[in-house]
Amino acid sequence: MKRMSLTTRMSLMFMLAVTAVLTVAGLSFNNLSRHHFKMLDQQALNEKLHSTQRILTGLNSIDQFSDVKPELEALLGAHRDLTALIIDGDGKLLFADPGPIVVPEDFRTITNSNVWEWRDQEQIFRGVTAQAIVTGQDKPLTVILIFDVTQHMAFFETLERWFWIGLVISALVSAALGWMVARSGLRPIRLVTQVAASMSAKSLKERIPLGPVPQELQQMVLSFNAMLSRLDDAFVRLSNFSADIAHELRTPVSNLMTHTEVVLSRKRNIEDYEDNLYSNLDDLKRMGRMIDDMLFLAKSDNGLITHENKPIDLVAVVEKLLEYYRLLADERGIDLKVTGRGSVRGDVLMLDRAISNLLSNALRYTPEGKRITVDIRQKGTSISVSVENPGEPIAPEHLEKLFDRFYRVDPARREGSPSNAGLGLSITRSIIEAHDGKIWCTSLNGKTAFHIELPCADARKA
């Protein structure tokens, strides 16, 4: 079943709201009007009744009734819609103005002065029945005053009929107006839809202007524009990533092809073939390491990295790595130092690889005769590891991108070197995040530091 559009639903809601308000207002007005007219009739009937009772109770005898008859005619005949009946205790009609009328027996015996109503074919009557005591009479007189309210009720019936007709017309008009208002109000959403439908890899630079967008939808448009910016950035990185892969693989493949063509250009001795094979083996190993690194990062992106959860003494891991790098450091007069201590839980080989990447990176950019410091500290329930080295500062706009694959601060260095493919920091971040940690870089006052924060051994075990 096809669902209604948002414009149609808003139009129906607007129509229902208007219809509900008009219905409540119309019914309330009708009931209040009916009650008002009923109270006016009751007031008029009670005034006539009290005046009639006062005249009748002033009689000394029923024989004097003819004396007050003109006064009763003047009092009760002034209202053209009023019929008055006076009946003695034996049921004899003493007075009828303008003429006798048949009243149901139930209404003849009511004596509580409450207003009653009855319908006689097309006529509607509203009346009141009361008693008047005359001196010398054992039985009181019965006074019945009746208003003919047929015209009033016909007016209300006509009013109700036109109200329902007007309500239907108002509902249709409000539905049309609601559709126009909803369609106009949803124009920015249609604009977002059009931009989204026209999105492609070549149009990610487009943005939705905020000028014509109402305030209620500006946050949505800002979020959509921000999403486009992220997609554009991700697509640019993906394009650069593909180009970087091609650049990084081109060098070893080109070397393999060149060496092989040179060797095959003429007959050579066995030693030349062996040298060529050893050279090709180095390039193949480099390509193999790059492929392994790419597979590792692919697993990391899909959450497929699994690691051990064993206690690790970070000091022992760092000191072992420093012993490995000390020979290279001594050749350039670089001092290696570790301070502090701390323990975490995880995979020792993976953390060894992550810290090794940071030390290798620090050695590459540290000037001769300087010092690289590895500081291990416990901060609450976490352990921080900082690898700090002096050197050229890194601009702030590059700090967040250092962990992107194949990213280099110097864009001119696209080809890399045999020992550096530009994946070390990406792998390090993946390893740290797999251990529920985080990594970031700071570069201030001529010193660059990579900071790792991991849950301490006790906190991770808990």
Q: Which amino acid is at 251?
A: T
Q: What angle do CA 124, 125, 128 make, to 5 degrees?
A: 160
Question: Which structure tokens are listed for 346?
Answer: 């995880």
pLDDT digits (tens, 9 = 90+) for 202-258: 667 777 777 766 777 778 778 888 888 888 877 776 776 666 667 667 767 887 888
pLDDT digits (tens, 9 = 90+) for 17-48: 999 999 999 899 989 988 888 888 888 888 88
Tell me if the bond preceding 104 is cis, omega within 30° of 0. Answer: no
> What is the C-alpha to C-alpha distance for residues 173 and 19, in angstroms, rounded to an integer?
10
User: What confidence score (pLDDT) does residue 450 get?
Assistant: 93
248-274 in b/e form (b: 16+ CB < 10 A) is beebbeebbeebeeebeeeeeeeeeee
Domains of the chain with bracketed CATH: 6-169 (3.30.450.20), 215-301 (1.10.287.130), 310-461 (3.30.565.10)
CB 371: neighbour CB atoms within 10 A? 14
> What is the C-alpha to C-alpha distance for residues 431 and 307, in angstroms, rounded to an integer?
9
Long-range contacts of 423-429 (CB under 8 A, 24+ apart): 423/290, 423/293, 423/294, 423/297, 424/357, 424/360, 424/361, 425/357, 425/361, 426/297, 427/293, 427/296, 427/297, 427/353, 427/354, 427/357, 428/353, 428/354, 428/357, 428/358, 428/403, 429/403
Contact 440, 398 (CB under 8 A): no
84-98 in b/e form (b: 16+ CB < 10 A) is bbbbbeeeeebbebe
Q: Across all residues in the chain, what is the average pLDDT?
A: 81
pLDDT digits (tens, 9 = 90+) for 58-88: 887 777 888 888 888 888 877 778 888 888 8
Contact 283, 256 (CB under 8 A): yes
CB 204: neighbour CB atoms within 10 A? 17
pLDDT band at 336 (very low <50, low <70, confident <90, very high): very high
Choice among 16-25, 170-179, 195-204, 387-396 with the minimum mean pLDDT: 195-204
Contact 280, 260 (CB under 8 A): yes
> What is the C-alpha to C-alpha distance for residues 445 and 4, in angstroms, rounded to an integer?
63
> What is the C-alpha to C-alpha distance for residues 232 and 228, in angstroms, rounded to an integer?
6
| DSSP H or E stretch at residue 278 | helix 270-301
More confident position, 344 or 258: 344
Across residues 143-157, what is the average pLDDT? 86
Phi first, then psi: what are they for 376, rounded to 5°? -115, 125
Instruction: Return the sign of the alpha-carbon dihedral for residues 388, 392, 395, 399.
Output: negative
- Provide the β-strand partners of residue 383: 378, 454
| DSSP H or E stretch at residue 313 | strand 310-313
Which is nearest to 386 in space by CA: 453, 450, 454? 450
